[in-house]
Structure 1
Amino acid sequence: MPTSFQSSQQSVAEEDGNLLLLTTTGARTGLPRTTPLGYVRHGESLLVVASNLGGPRQPGWYHNLLAHPVVQVEVGTSSFEALAVPAEGARREELFAYVVRAVPGYGDYQERTRRVLPVVVLERAEPEGWDGPGEVRTLADKLLEVHTWLRGQLRQVRAETDAHFADRGAGASPGLGLQIRQRCLAFCQALEFHHVSEDGHLFPGIARHHPHLADVFERLADEHRTVARIQGELATLLGGIAIADPSRFRTELEEMSAQLNAHLDHEEEALLPLLADVPWPPVGPPAGP
């Protein structure tokens, strides 16, 4: 049964018929949480407002996406992963005015509270222009696809960080902002998942068939530990909404870029030839009678 909050969100959405299902990861539980929300299209992105009926507190789904920026969006028959980024400053004002023009009910919610209602931009999680490394037929192709995605995400974080520092002399705010925070946090979480999966499944599986490569896997595991240390430093800096030390963040990000790219290059050189004949998706045993 929907809560009163969800029912109100749905009633607002029905003013123009736009409703989506947003699945976030619980900030405390780590469990998926699905909420129906009204949305407004803005270019290729979708906008949702953390109105909470105009109440004094942010809704739970908003806290969840700050902790886990990658969310699942269902619109009609379409489902996709998205990066959730709350708009800030003048952009938030512009987007909120845009939303209110489309769905005036959100203006009523804003009038009920002193809290500035967050406007969250949902943008597809893939980097701009992402088309992958080509058709995925083998485990080597799949590994290269993941590495290409990680490199693209890291390039975007670095580009946005460089743009932020270039604008600082023009009166930009001293913090890094939520756009950089959310994208970098999403990248760090995806990288951690990838490396944990490699350490727990991929590397041991390959090592069983190639025991003479023990030194290679020991080096790859050591590189994972180095990247994880830097990732931990970035996660600490991203722990709050405001970034206390942007210069330190930039230094750690440059170190991450150097270490991760060197690691990915080395891993591809060592493993892609071994995986080139392994089909993807995996071929299971024949079905029984």
Structure 2
Amino acid sequence: MPLGFNDNIISDFRTNAGVLGGPFAGWVLLLLTTTGARSGREHTTPLGFVEDGDRLLVVGSAGGSDRHPDWYRNILVNPTVTVETGTETWQATAVAATGEERDALFAKVVAVAPGYADYQKGTDRILPVVALYRLPEDTYTPPTRLDALADELVAIHDWLRGELAALRGGLGARTTPVLTVELRKHCLTFCSAMAVHHGGEDAGLFPYLTREFPDKADAFDRLQREHGTVARILGELQELLARLDDADPERLRGEFDRLAAELETHFAYEEEQVLPLLRASA
């Protein structure tokens, strides 16, 4: 699609709060801003979307081209994106579906927008389906009982520990296509949960606690840096799982062990630093 064509849509979208006119009248789109996988620069693309519960689904159709669109390659490297829908602008985590989950989500999209089926027929490339999960806003309103938040934090950490252990255990049984698909799906769910959990802490909980306990600012800085380390490991892990059939089992297990060690260190430090503050504020 010509660059000028997209520029006209973006300009019209932003000028009229998402309501398009002229030749684009009636189109319902969002604007997706990604970070270039190589350049590191921001790129904005108008896309059709389908609502699916609390997430939005977009398809890397590229008009039926045999090449994945640039925005899709960008989110595989940098999954944090900006979404504009009418008068709203918000941050999201972009998660590409795979296997049976991708097929089920593509069927949902086609049921609403049948044109995507025609795009798929026009290429041997499997059109990717990407779910956009909204991240919490920058503002944070503390709950009435911070000790309840402390309990929730421990529960989330324990759940994530259990999910990681289940993923590690699944590596010993990845000999059938069905189990391979389930492992990929399980990993995407885990990675998405980690992104949402850390995104909420970075955008809300940590800034709030930093204001309340400025002497602990260094601890929150360290926790946020560790979030970046975990995100990089998760990205490497997803790349390995995308090539699960050809990946070296020992390397996969090594990546899981590395992730588990990083997470356990992170969780232990966070619980040591954050839980006493939440308990003391109750």
TM-score normalised according to structure 1 size: 0.61
The answer as to whether partners of 2:233 and 2:259 remain within 8 angstroms in 1 is: no
RMSD: 5.0
Classify the secondary structure of the residue corresponding to 1:172.
helix
Where does residue 66 of structure 1 map in the other structure? Answer: 76
Where does 1:81-120 land on structure 2 (aligned, <5 Å)? Answer: 81-120=91-130
Alignment length (residue pairs): 248
1:113/1:254 CA distance change after superposition, 3 Å: same
Where does residue 179 of structure 2 map in the other structure? Answer: 172
Q: How far did 1:247 drift?
A: 2.6
Q: What is the percentage of aligned positions where both structures have the same residue?
A: 29
The answer as to whether partners of 1:227 and 1:256 remain within 8 angstroms in 2 is: no
Classify the secondary structure of the residue corresponding to 2:94.
strand
- Measured in 2, the distance between the counterparts of 1:229 and 1:124 equals 21
The one of 252, 261, 268 aligned to 2:267 = 261
1:223/1:185 CA distance change after superposition, 3 Å: closer
The answer as to whether partners of 2:168 and 2:253 remain within 8 angstroms in 1 is: no
Mind listing any 5+ residue stretches in structure 2 that lack a counterpart?
11-19
The one of 139, 156, 163 aligned to 1:159 = 163
1:40/1:236 CA distance change after superposition, 3 Å: closer
The one of 183, 189, 192 aligned to 1:183 = 192
Where does residue 279 of structure 1 map in the other structure? Answer: none
Amino acid at match of 1:256: E
Structure ID, larger Rg? 1
- Measured in 1, the distance between the counterparts of 2:87 and 2:156 equals 28
The one of 16, 19, 27 aligned to 2:29 = 19
The one of 85, 89, 92 aligned to 1:79 = 89
The answer as to whether partners of 2:59 and 2:127 remain within 8 angstroms in 1 is: yes
List, as ranges, runs of 4+ consecutive aligned residues in structure 1 with deviation greater than 6 Å: 5-11, 148-151, 187-191, 219-232, 269-273
The answer as to whether partners of 1:19 and 1:39 remain within 8 angstroms in 2 is: yes
Q: How far did 1:45 drift?
A: 1.7
Determine which structure has the larger helix proportion and give its number.
2
1:118/1:106 CA distance change after superposition, 3 Å: same
Where does 1:130-149 land on structure 2 (aligned, <5 Å)? Answer: 133-134=142-143
1:271/1:118 CA distance change after superposition, 3 Å: same
